[in-house]
Amino acid sequence: MTGTKLQRTLLSVIERIGNLANYEGCEYFEVRASGKQCPSCERWGVEAGKRKFGCPRCGIAWNRDWGSTIREALAYLRIKRKMLEKHI
């Protein structure tokens, strides 16, 4: 096996969540996003403190955790829109 024990544990948890979603009839797909990218314009931010970033284009500042959460939510919505457009 490759990776650290923590990485293997996280991969196991992700696999179990996917299996549970499939069993319950829910859709499941992985969405990944970096907290270092601007949630608004997707440009790479400049570090402005510990786990804080700022966008040189937009001028907004964000916490890395919140930035990645917002970007993941937006990525999910884009995927859902594409799925809905295919069915219409």
Instruction: Tell me the whole-structure pTM to 2 decimals.
Output: 0.67
* Encoded amino acid at 79, one letter: I
Mean pLDDT of all residues in 52-73:
92
Confidence of residue 13 (pLDDT cuts 50, 70, 90): confident
Confidence of residue 1 (pLDDT cuts 50, 70, 90): low
Instruction: Mark 22-44 as b/e (b = at least 16 C-beta within 10 Å).
Output: eeeeeeeeeeebebbbbbbeeee
